[in-house]
Amino acid sequence: MNTVFSLWSSQKGRNLIVQLLMVAGFLGLVWWLVDNTVANLARQNVATGFGFLENNTGFDINQKLIAYDESSSYQRLLLVGLLNTAIVSVLGIFFATLIGFMVGLARLSDNWLVSKLAFLYVEIFRNLPLLIQILFWYVLLIEILPHPRNSFALGDMFFLNNRGLYLPWFTSLSGGNIVLWAIALFGVGWFFVSRQAQKRRELTGQKSSYTRHYFILGVIALAGYLSLWGVPFEPNLPALKGFNFRGGLSFTPEFVALLVALSLYTASFIAEIVRAGVLCVAKGQFEAAKALGLPTNVAMNKVIIPQAMRVIIPPLTSQYLNLTKNSSLAAAIAYPELVSVFAGTALNQTGQAVEIIFITMSIYLFLSLLTSFLMNIYNARVALVEK
Amino acid sequence: MRSILKWSRENLFATRMNAVMSVLSIWLVYVAIEGVFSWALINASFIGTDKASCAANPHGACWPFVTAKLNQFVYGNYPMGEQWRVNIVFALGAFGLGLLMTKRVSFKKEVAVLMLTVYPVLTFILLSGGFLGLSYVETNQWGGLLVTLVIAVTGIVVSLPLGILLALGRRSELPIIRIMSIGFIEFWRGVPLITVLFMASVMLPLFLPEGMNFDALLRCLIGVSMFASAYMAEVIRGGLQAIPKGQYEAAKSLGLSYWKSMRLIILPQALVVSIPGIVNTFIGLFKDTTLVMIVGIFDLLGIISFHFTDPNWTSPQVPITGFVFAGLVFWVFCFAMSHYSKSVERRFSVTGENK
């Protein structure tokens, strides 16, 4: 008892005791929760453990990027859901960035009307709950759009009806995949070549012809292949068969509604970030660029935006993360992404709430922590070194 | 007239590019206004008691749906005879907020403390009842705007103090407290709210001993509050970081204890700096309350969607009208809050420059 009193009388000792009490309280709480959960699960006769991941799901879903059917396992279902989250997030990030930068720069325009319109856009979309926006686009698509027979059509190639959006696509014949991979590889190569060209330009001040040569080389290779072996692709156009369209590239109304809502909503936040970022760049920079005789768009692209990016990128990344997390709102319109299909349907089927919520949360948590880790590295790299 | 021409030449048609953009914008504005007007007014139905009244105008809004259901949209299934209790709660809340937002009121601090302590208790007594001669109203009878506001206000009232504690914990010198605060904050910030609500609705009952049971609304309130606290903590941490180091050192050199220096010196300054961030968190929280409908709570959006299934009102225009109405209500609240936050920001930035 005496030692406790003497500990308490010093600041260090008090700190130690407080912290020990916190740890004890925390462990006690965890123990209590686990104990209750185990008792409740035993009473309800719910299976525990992750064995259910091997079981058959017994239900199909309407959008899958990989093979999946009723006899697939829950593990497979998790992967399908994750891929659906990924595709809507990646496309959403692309469109949100595009719209966001356009609106953000429009907000800074000299044109009074353009800047006011951009302002209006931001105020409307930022202050509306995302869920309402998703539901609104969804009912608009399924209630207002015509049946497949009376689809809106554009040149017999693009169709829009209440079953979804249909775009022309292609199917690869033999050798088609090789060509696609080659083109992808060419794109990656482009990145390195243009970087080399940039480096050379910075070093010598002369325009290099690296990228032009690289491009011509690519075109010759492609033309050579096509003339020797023919075009290994075949157009695949959507066409009305029975009650619905077949073929082409199709998107369900759920997907379209979610993508539109996520893009427009996130774009309103990105626009504000872009605006703030550009305003952060000192005015003298723009004036200096002008004084060098650079036209406005070059001054913007080469002087202002690169500096603004330092301020823009960290909040932009957190918007990307938000968009990914917000894609979980798809549960409201039954777009089969991670939460809706796994934490929703699978949970109801198996009743294994603890395991399923644990897996779902872990995935998002991992993604968040990874993002903030990468952001910390980025911030350390681009931070202005002040004297 | 001349000045208008001059203004538009300078602001709309300065360059050829600008002129093209202006014409495009004018066209866009025209299309948008024309579309909204014809849908909401010209082609809309205004009076009626069921879907038949809207069938005549298939390309316009079905406003009778909103007017017929307005009572449910505001109170849910709260008993008609007891709705005065809800009205008192609304009125008191509006009055308190009004005082807080009026510039000339000198006792704002007292009002704020009352709003954060007495008002929630009073609200609970009035809404729930069961004593003082008030009849008991179960929470599954609450609904509509009432539930939306209850969730938002609870989130605010819980997240502010909890957020302050977490922010202080995250900046604490005691490693264990710091680690626990970071863990708590990063966990809730890392997962989407919808998974938190799923967890609150399916896992919370498992965590509690047999016999102990929370009702569905309370479970959601807990989930939303934890979630909001983590975000609030980060906003307040930003405020704490903005306070110059000299302030901490000055407080220490005066011999103030940790809690006294926080309460008297640091927090009053940090909280003022973070007001815009705090209001933004409130806006986010208010928008996020709509998610409770996914776990079966009838907030404003939930009850509106629920009434789409009413066989008297099954018509394609009804859901669209309902969502537009819900959007308008939420938009007005959020816009007002963001407007307020901007005005506060402007006020403080001006005084900051004067120093």
Cβ contacts of B176 on chain A, cutoff 8 Å: 19, 22-23
Beta strands in A196-263 (DSSP E): 233-236, 239-241, 244-246, 249-251
Q: Can you tell me the distance from the alpha carbon of A327 to that of A336, in angstroms, rounded to the nearest whole number?
A: 10
The tokens describing A266, both together, are 């996130």
The mean-pLDDT minimum among A89-93, A185-189, A226-230, B220-224 falls in A226-230
Nearest to B12 among A113, A329, A339 (CB): A113
- Quote the minimal CA–CA distance from B26 to chain A in Å: 8
Helix pair B275-288, B216-242: axis angle to 10 deg: 160
Cβ contacts of A364 on chain B, cutoff 8 Å: 190-192, 195
Query: Which residues are CB-contacts of B137 (< 8 A; sequence separation ≥ 6)?
Result: B78, B79, B82, B127, B128, B129
Closest-CA residue in chain B for A355? B203
Contact assignment for B209 to A39 by CB distance below 8 Å: yes
Percent over 70 (pLDDT), chain A: 97
Nearest to B190 among A26, A110, A369 (CB): A369
Residue pair B348/B272 in contact (Cβ under 8 Å)? The answer is yes
Cβ contacts of B200 on chain A, cutoff 8 Å: none
Helix, strand, coil percent values for chain B (each to nearest 5): 80, 0, 20
- Quote the minimal CA–CA distance from B325 to chain A in Å: 10
Tell me the pLDDT tens digit for each residue of A78-115: 998 999 999 999 999 999 999 999 999 999 888 888 99
Pairing status of strand A158-161 against strand A169-172: unpaired
Q: Can you tell me the distance from the alpha carbon of A14 to that of A24, in angstroms, rounded to the nearest whole number?
A: 15
Contact assignment for A36 to B187 by CB distance below 8 Å: no
Long-range contacts of B117-123 (CB under 8 A, 24+ apart): B119/B92, B119/B93, B120/B153, B120/B154, B120/B157, B122/B89, B122/B92, B123/B89, B123/B92, B123/B93, B123/B150, B123/B153
Burial of A225 (0-12, 13-18, 19+ CB in 10 A): middle
Average pLDDT value over all residues in chain A: 86
**Other beta carbons less than 10 A from residue B247's beta carbon:** 14
Closest-CA residue in chain A for B328? A128
Question: Would you say the C-alpha torsion A204, A205, A206, A212 has a positive or negative sign?
Answer: positive
pLDDT in tens, chain B (355 residues): 677 778 777 777 777 778 888 888 899 999 999 989 888 888 888 887 877 888 887 888 888 888 888 888 888 888 888 888 888 888 888 888 888 878 777 887 888 888 888 888 888 888 887 777 778 878 888 888 999 999 998 998 899 999 999 999 998 888 889 999 999 999 999 999 999 999 888 888 888 887 777 788 888 999 999 999 999 999 999 888 888 888 888 988 998 888 888 888 888 888 888 888 888 899 999 999 999 998 888 989 999 999 888 888 888 888 899 999 999 999 999 998 888 888 877 777 655 443 3
Task: Go through chain A and tell me how many residues it has.
Answer: 387
Q: Can you tell me the distance from the alpha carbon of B219 to that of B45, in angstroms, rounded to the nearest whole number?
A: 40
Task: Go through chain B and tell me how many residues it has.
Answer: 355
Contact assignment for B293 to A26 by CB distance below 8 Å: no
Provide the residue type at B149 as one letter. Answer: L
Closest-CA residue in chain A for B199? A357
- Give residue limits of the domains in chain A: 1-45, 74-154+253-382
Cβ contacts of B21 on chain A, cutoff 8 Å: 109, 111, 113-114
Cβ contacts of B290 on chain A, cutoff 8 Å: 129, 131-132
Pairing status of strand A164-167 against strand A152-154: unpaired
Nearest to B294 among A18, A19, A331 (CB): A331
The tokens describing B108, both together, are 């704002």
Burial of A92 (0-12, 13-18, 19+ CB in 10 A): buried
Residue pair A185/A202 in contact (Cβ under 8 Å)? The answer is no
Burial of A194 (0-12, 13-18, 19+ CB in 10 A): middle
Nearest to A136 among B21, B207, B323 (CB): B323
Closest-CA residue in chain A for B288? A129
* pLDDT top residue among A135 and A302: A135
CATH architecture of A74-154+253-382: Orthogonal Bundle (1.10)
Contact assignment for A357 to B202 by CB distance below 8 Å: yes
Nearest to B335 among A112, A127, A339 (CB): A127
Residue A242 pLDDT greater than 80, yes or no: no
Domains by residue range for chain B, with CATH: 71-353 (1.10.3720.10)
**Other beta carbons less than 10 A from residue A33's beta carbon:** 15
Q: Can you tell me the distance from the alpha carbon of A339 to that of A331, in angstroms, rounded to the nearest whole number?
A: 7
Beta strands in chain A (DSSP E): 152-154, 158-161, 164-167, 169-172, 233-236, 239-241, 244-246, 249-251
Q: Can you tell me the distance from the alpha carbon of A382 to that of A309, in angstroms, rounded to the nearest whole number?
A: 10
Residue pair A354/A48 in contact (Cβ under 8 Å)? The answer is yes
Q: Can you tell me the distance from the alpha carbon of A262 to that of A324, in angstroms, rounded to the nearest whole number?
A: 9
The tokens describing B75, both together, are 């109170």
- What is the interface pTM, i.e. ipTM, of the complex? 0.89
Beta strands in A120-277 (DSSP E): 152-154, 158-161, 164-167, 169-172, 233-236, 239-241, 244-246, 249-251
Q: How many CB pairs under 8 A join A and B?
A: 159
- Quote the minimal CA–CA distance from B146 to chain A in Å: 17
pTM for this predicted structure: 0.87
Best of B51, B165, B193, B207 to mutate (most A CBs within 10 Å, chain A): B207
